[in-house]
């Protein structure tokens, strides 16, 4: 994996690619913030890896994670489950991604960015429910970008139950 900014050629690629990657994440997070969950699986390739994992496990190489899906179909099942059962106390989530780091690797576009996820129970002050970093891999498919891999590493040991919602 080499960063896009190493030589002149890479800088050019970067200048063309970055706005597309940025637009991809804008659309991804807008869909989740607006609770259009049914759109979520389509941001992934048919075969994919979606993983939400505590930092300690990730850094030690343990695979024990909070959530894992290995195909778009599994993500769709997840959404179906969520849409049927979301009868909790009314609450909203809003995602604040940090600066986006984009590198090009042999197997696709690698991105890294921090993620802050804020929960608002509507009669309370907002609180931070997730603070972590996303290690993603995107590939181009039929002229659009899709996530082949998304690994969300969060800094807590345990995850708030609120994280039944996608990050």
Binding site for a copy of itself (CB under 8 A): 3, 5, 11, 14-15, 19-20, 22-23, 25-26, 29-30, 33, 54-56, 92, 94-99, 101, 112, 114, 116, 118, 120, 122-133, 155-158, 160
Of 2 and 127, nearer to a copy of itself (C-beta) is 127
Least Å distance, CB 63 to a copy of itself, is 18
Of 33 and 67, nearer to a copy of itself (C-beta) is 33
Three-state secondary structure call for residue 167: coil
Strands 2-3 and 101-105: antiparallel
Of 38 and 70, nearer to a copy of itself (C-beta) is 38
Of 42 and 47, nearer to a copy of itself (C-beta) is 42
As a whole number of angstroms, the distance between CA 4 and CA 102 comes to 7
Least Å distance, CB 78 to a copy of itself, is 23
Three-state secondary structure call for residue 46: strand
**Where do we find the tokens 């960015």?**
113
According to DSSP, residue 15 is labeled: H
Least Å distance, CB 148 to a copy of itself, is 22
Least Å distance, CB 120 to a copy of itself, is 4
Beta bridge partners of 116: 96, 131
Kindly provide the residue ranges of all beta strands, DSSP E only, lying in 57-107, ordered along the sequence. 67-71, 91-97, 101-105
């Amino acid at each position: 994996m080499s960063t896009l900014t190493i030589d002149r050629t890479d800088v050019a690629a970067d200048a063309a690619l970055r706005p597309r990657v940025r637009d991809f994440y804008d659309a991804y997070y807008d869909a989740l913030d607006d609770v259009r969950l049914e759109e979520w699986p389509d941001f992934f390739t048919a075969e994919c890896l979606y993983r939400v994992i505590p930092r300690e496990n990730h850094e030690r190489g343990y695979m024990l994670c909070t959530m894992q899906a290995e195909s778009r179909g599994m993500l769709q099942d997840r959404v179906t489950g969520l849409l049927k059962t979301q009868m909790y106390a009314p609450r909203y989530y809003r995602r604040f991604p940090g600066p986006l780091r984009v590198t090009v690797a042999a197997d696709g576009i690698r991105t890294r960015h921090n993620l802050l996820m804020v929960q608002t129970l509507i009669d309370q002050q907002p609180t931070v429910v997730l603070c972590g970093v996303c290690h993603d891999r995107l590939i181009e498919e039929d002229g659009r970008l899709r996530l082949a891999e998304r690994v969300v590493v969060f800094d807590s040991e345990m995850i708030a139950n609120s994280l039944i919602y996608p990050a």
